[in-house]
Amino acid sequence: MLRFTKSKVIAILAAVILGILLAVPSMMTREQRVAFQNSIPSWVPSWLVPTSAITLGLDLQGGSHVLLEVDVPDLLRTQTTQLRDDVRRILRENRISLQGGIQMVQRGVQIRVPQQADRDTLLPRLRELAQPVGNAILGPTGNNDIEITTTPEGLITLAYTEAGVTERVRRAIQQAIEVLRRRVDAMGTTEPNIQQQGADRILVQVPGLQDPQQLKELLGRTAKLEFRLLGQTGAADTDMLPMREEGGRRVPVERTVIAEGADLIDAQPAFDSRTNEPIVNFRFNIRGAQRFGDATARNIGRPLAIVLDNEVVSAPTIQSAITGGSGQISGNFTVEQVNNLAVLLRAGALPAKLTIIEERTVGPGLGQDSIEAGTLAVSIGSALVAAFMIAAYGFLGIVAVVAVAVNVALILGVMSALGATLTLPGIAGILLTVGMAVDSNVLIYERIREEARLGRSAVSSLDQGFGRALGTILDANFTTLLAAGILFFLGTGPVRGFAVTLSIGVITTVFTAYTVTRLMIAGWYNYTRPKAIQI
């Protein structure tokens, strides 16, 4: 137990020094870290010098955590509307008119085509709408996203399959993440984290935010912009949509979309030169400009509805053909509203409505307070434990304190290396590890004491003491690791951070007990050569 080969000693020391080096940047303030980084000569390869500090959780650095969920029914509604439009287009192209029109059914649409000849021309075209659904790992699964069924009476139903819905949700999530990233980036924050969670959720984490309200406004809006003509009340193919002004009075709006948000290439907040009212200036791409120009030329004198998220923002009358490919949106906005609207239009519309189902925001002041309180608690707690150990065990107490100090450095080092996040409960986890790491030393010392009392020689009591205690240490710590592991898989955010620190702490505790403590005691024994152990 007390003999170490030279290579082993070197390996242990190397591991400890590496751990401490990795931990050093985390101990520095941001300014010191930058200065340190700049002071490294350029010929030193960057991987050789650790400069990255532990990532602080949102509860410590302040920031917002927002969990969004795709509104699947809303997504399906959009998708079936799309399907209806596709079917209508195919009908028109083949000059087939229906009795009863296109009926919306569960997850799809239904049409009645009594003529066999019509059905024969229609069906192949309709089948083209269905796409095979596959996945990246298995390739095509042989399922289609849309199932087409017919009855002998001529009833044709097109409906999304289960696989089709899953596929749409998956694609919507991918698309939404892109859109959200553009929106959050437009806020100019540093290191936002946007990732998928589960099948239909997106987690957005933005550190160091001053105003979470703006973030939520940017995240929660679908921002679907459409230019449509105002129609006649009661006319076919119109939707009754509420006005943003005038107490939400509903007006008929034609279903045909002249141009939409996807046709924009730019949108900027500005002020109207005459009224000084905040507005958004936008520019169309070529396709959009063409369509918008044609439509306005054909409909001079009619009101054009600017529809945002199914709400009529304003409905100015078309004075002349707008062929320049640019325009403006006004509607009694505040400056802040036009700023947000411009960001939303530039970033594009979300493929479906997203609902905020969880929000956790910590202000930067509270985060700083938490760091200070946590650091203070760890310092005082460690000092107390150290004083207690030295008072109780004398020299061996010092060995224990060194072992625990190495342990804490290793925890920080491993966390920096793994890119793990330190949260406030995580700091509690470190302090708890300090308390419990002492346990392994206590176990070893008590065992040595016992063996010495049985009248064994110094070397034999040390040997036996270590040998027996290490088995216990392993068993005892493994159970804590089990609990921490489960906490990791089930917890989120700060709690997960706690589980990470606790798990790493347990592992480094066992490591230091096996190596650092043993090495120090072996060194002490070889130096003093006591006949008997007296503790």
Partner 1 sequence: MLIRYFPTNTKFEFMRYRRMSFPFSALLSVLTVVLFFTVGMNFGIDFKGGTLIEMRALGPTADAGAIRDRANALGFGSVEVQAFGDGREVSVRVELQPGGERGQQEVVARMREAFEDAYEFRRIEVVGPRVSSELVQSGTLGVILALVAILAYLWFRFEWQYAIGAVVATLHDIVLTIGFFAITQIQFDMTSIAALLTIMGYSLNDTVVVYDRIRETLRKYKKRPIGELLDQAINDTLTRTIMTGLSTGFAIIALAIFGGEVLRSFSYTMLFGLVVGTYSSVFIAAPILVYLGLKQGAETAAPADATAAAAE
Footprint of partner 1 on residues 454-513 (CB under 8 A)? 463-464, 466-468, 470-472, 474-480, 482-484, 486-487, 490-492, 494-495, 498-499, 502
Q: What is the DSSP letter of 86?
A: H
> CA-CA distances (angstroms) from residue 530 to 180, 367, 450, 469?
69, 52, 17, 21
Nearer to partner 1, 239 or 450 (CB): 450
Nearer to partner 1, 236 or 391 (CB): 391
Q: How many CA atoms lie within 13 A of 171 on its CB side?
A: 14
d(CA 93, CA 295): 21
User: Which of 77, 102, 450, 459 forms a contact with partner 1 (CB under 8 A)?
Assistant: 450
Interaction between residue 155 and partner 1 (CB under 8 A): no
Other Cβ atoms within 10 Å of 274 Cβ, number: 6
Nearer to partner 1, 200 or 263 (CB): 200
Contact 165, 72 (CB under 8 A): yes
CB of 81 to partner 1, least distance (A): 22
Report helix, strand or coil for 73.
helix
User: Which of 98, 377, 402, 459 forms a contact with partner 1 (CB under 8 A)?
Assistant: 377
Beta bridge partner(s), residue 268: 281
User: Which of 443, 500, 504, 519 forms a contact with partner 1 (CB under 8 A)?
Assistant: 443
Interaction between residue 446 and partner 1 (CB under 8 A): yes
Range 160-219, binding partner 1 (CB under 8 A): 212-213, 216
487-492 contacts at long range (C-beta below 8 A, 24 or more positions apart):
none
Nearer to partner 1, 18 or 487 (CB): 487
Nearer to partner 1, 3 or 274 (CB): 3
User: Which of 225, 279, 350, 389 forms a contact with partner 1 (CB under 8 A)?
Assistant: 389
The bridge status of strand 55-56 relative to strand 421-422 is parallel
Q: Which stretch, 30-38, 169-177, 325-333, 422-430, contacts partner 1 (CB under 8 A)?
A: 422-430
d(CA 467, CA 444): 9
Q: Which stretch, 278-286, 291-299, 329-337, 393-401, contacts partner 1 (CB under 8 A)?
A: 393-401
CB of 261 to partner 1, least distance (A): 23
Number of residues located near partner 1, criterion CB under 8 A:
86
Q: Which stretch, 292-300, 302-310, 338-346, 436-444, contacts partner 1 (CB under 8 A)?
A: 436-444
Q: What is the DSSP letter of 243?
A: B
Range 66-105, binding partner 1 (CB under 8 A): 67, 69
CB of 181 to partner 1, least distance (A): 22
Q: How many CA atoms lie within 13 A of 176 on its CB side?
A: 31
CA nearest neighbour of 84 among 113, 118, 108: 108
d(CA 299, CA 278): 27
